[in-house]
Chains A and B, each alone.
Chain A
Amino acid sequence: MAIDFYWRLPTHGCHSSLRTHDYDRGDWSPLRPGNIAPGPASDGGADQFAYIDHLSQIAKAAEGAGFLGGLIPSFPGTEDPWVISSLLARETSTFRFMLAFQPGFGNPVHSARAAASLQRLSGGRALFNIITGGGGPSQLWWGDSFSHDDRYGRTREWLDVFRGVWGGGSFDYDGRFYQVENAGLAPLLANEEFPEMWFSGSSDAALEVAARHADYYLSWLEPFDQLADKFDRVKERTARLGGEQKCAIRVDLVARPTEEEAWREVQIGFENVSEERRRTRTRGTDSVGAARQDALRPADATRYDDLIVAPNLWGGFNLLRGGPALGIVGSYEQCAERLDELIALGADGFILAGTPHLEEAWRVGEEVLPLLGQSGVALLQAAE
């Protein structure tokens, strides 16, 4: 059984190293010598490159290095996934665009039409990471005041309608959040492949919707036994509805020729984090997934190795960049072994990432992916 490997497009700028915290790719930090996309021009202003030019480089590296495509996250301060995908579709050839999208933000019929257009434009390379938002101030920032469980109700109805109109025909729906009458994509758009749905969310409400609509249930990395348990629950729920649930993991890697070099990256990065930042915890969110990540991080960690939660697993990534806490740190072989273990416990797909995203796409593609399926775990599993 082949496993899906995706990369990630960082939509909030990128760092040239995990050791520093300034974004020196993109314009999220002040323009300085050495900055990329945009860089400084001789007149002191910015050169002709925009951040999209760097994203294009990452997408091309990912397709060159053997990834199927990349996840495109969406937060208040980021570029937008629909725009990025539409901009880059024609200059990439195999890269699949996984758009993070909160369904509540788009009319489902209009979104289906836009998605079908994107499928035509890209030759069927669009798919979605359906997210439902973390509540709190950020949700109100987006103009959304729905409660946690109502948001999931809306997500579910949105997916019902999106799917209902997809192939054309005449679709009626009378839900709590959405109604349509005699709807269906027009013949010009009705022959596109339905985009795969990767679904995120750790709460009960999330698992409920996932069982019905998710091709892949996507989780951040969690301690392995905890994750195995979560995947089992998701798979069981979907099995009860008569389906088979695939699961996937979104995880950062620090992969180096030796384990020592990998930990050195993390150590220097950790030591460059201010005391203040180290002590802030995620606030103002109703996300169950975020709480599960936050639980991993002792606020009083003073050394990077206080945050090693298992061999090659480090719980401090959210100190070094935005996003979840837990990631994999190790030699190429160790990274491959950990991924093999995750495959053995039920992962059918991965969204990997590393900083800087451009160079690490090549590194992971050339050094880690080729080692997969050769470790003891994988051989043992194959023998069973």
Chain B
Amino acid sequence: MTISAYWELDPAAEPQRFEPLAGRQLPGIVKSQRGPALNRFDYYAQVGSAAAQAGFSGLFIRHREEADESRVIAAAVAREVPGIVLVPEFPASVGSAVYAAKQAVSFQRSTRNRLGWAIAAAEGAADRRRSGDYIGADDLGERLEEFLTVARGVHAAQPFTFEGRHFAVKDGGFADPLNRADFPQVFLQGEDEEDLEYSARQADVHLFRASALADVSRQVETLDGLGKRTGRPVAYGLLQPVVARPFADEAQRHAERIGAPAEALVGSYDEVAARLADLAGVGISHFVFRSLPSLEEAYLVGQHVLPRLRARLSTLRVAA
């Protein structure tokens, strides 16, 4: 099985890098020429380059209300970094589904189809009101489904007409040459039964939260069952924090320093690669890896873990 490995960029996690006035200031004895010519977008581009050069297939850009908008970041990075896919995460409350689809098409045309769409999990009611999103909790799933139906619809057909509760289009649809671009691969997430049902109908890739192998395996089976009913293929992915070092104790120490979450895979390069191969064995084909600092860790994972994981998977394939 071939796997797709993405590196995660969390724009809220390290906003000080490249920002002249944030982070630690240099003492006067150090001659400095840092100034407003550089800012955190240089960091995003550098992390994107790191992901590309270290062998990842894409950069997954988190939706963070408190930080830069993911699709703006994705475009800025894409123009500068060749090869990788950019997967910005954003909520289905961004606005018009037609407008979002049209932006996706423009991105695709300009980057040789290197866009993915990750729809963020809905926030709580107070956060939604802060974002100007006043629909009821019961309507969120329906809105998500209409958003994707309309976005895909205007891309696939002309004329496209749709009359829903959240979106309506009359005689829409993209004309040539806009309709020649690929629709982005859609990543959905969530652990609830309802989330899995939406994914069975709408996702290209469903992303699970990292957890124990047995849990992941069970969830994959559940979604598999739902997928058989809808008859459309869905790939499975994992949002996987990871800390890998030559020796397990070194990994442990770094994990403590950055406060890696409980579900992180922490260990030597070989141990981590072995655990990932197990996950691939139960059906996970897309891994969204993350660690901090995201630049340095992208190199560690890309240079030392991904080759080991790929080697294991090809050995397994040969053995089978």
Contacts and interface: CB of A to CB of B under 8 A. Distances in A.
Interface in B46-81: 65-69, 71-76, 78-80
Contact of A106 (B65, B96, B167): B96
Interface string B5-34: 000000010010000000000000000000
A91 B79 contact: yes
B68 A117 contact: yes
Nearest to B90: A110
Nearest to B98: A143
B247 interface: no
Interface string B112-131: 10000000000000100111
A113 B94 CA distance: 11
A113 B175 contact: no
Interface string A95-124: 000000000111111110110111011010
A70 B25 CA distance: 37
Interface in A133-184: 137, 140-145, 161, 178-183
B66, B76, B98, B112 pick with most chain A CB within 10 angstroms: B76
Greatest chain B CB density within 10 A among A27, A89, A110, A118 is at A110
Contact-size category for A: 35 or more
Contacts of B73: 117
Contacts of B106: 79-80, 83-84
Contacts of B78: 87
Contacts of A189: 66-68
A83 B76 CA distance: 9
Contacts of B111: 50
Interface stretch (B36-44, B210-218, B284-292): B36-44
Contact of B150 (A114, A120, A143, A182): A143
B182 to A, nearest CB: 14
B130 A105 contact: no
A65 interface: no
A105 B99 contact: yes
Nearest to A170: B130
A314 interface: no
Contacts of A109: 130-132
Contacts of A145: 168, 170
B235 to A, nearest CB: 26
B129 A90 contact: no
B172 A90 contact: no
Contacts of B98: 105, 141-143
A50 B111 CA distance: 8
B109 A77 contact: no
Contacts of B264: none
B132 A108 contact: yes
A72 to B, nearest CB: 11
Nearest to A23: B177
A227 interface: no
Nearest to B128: A181
Contacts of B105: 80
Interface string B82-105: 000000000101111111001101
A224 interface: no
Q: Which of A88, A91, A188 has the most CB of B within 10 A?
A: A188
B79 A87 contact: yes
B72 A140 contact: no
Contacts of A87: 75-76, 78-79, 107, 110
A82 to B, nearest CB: 6
Contacts of A114: 69, 71-72
Interface string A53-70: 000000000000000000
B169 interface: yes
Nearest to B150: A143
Contact of A120 (B41, B71, B175): B41
Given A83-B103, A88-B79, A111-B95, A140 B110 contact: no
A140 B172 contact: yes
Contacts of A116: 68
Contacts of A28: 177
B19 to A, nearest CB: 9
20 contacts: A80-B105, A86-B76, A87-B75, A90-B76, A105-B96, A106-B99, A107-B94, A107-B95, A120-B40, A121-B68, A137-B171, A140-B171, A141-B170, A142-B96, A145-B170, A179-B132, A186-B66, A187-B66, A188-B15, A189-B68
Given A51-B109, A83-B71, 8 more contacts: A80-B103, A83-B110, A104-B96, A107-B94, A121-B41, A141-B170, A143-B167, A179-B132
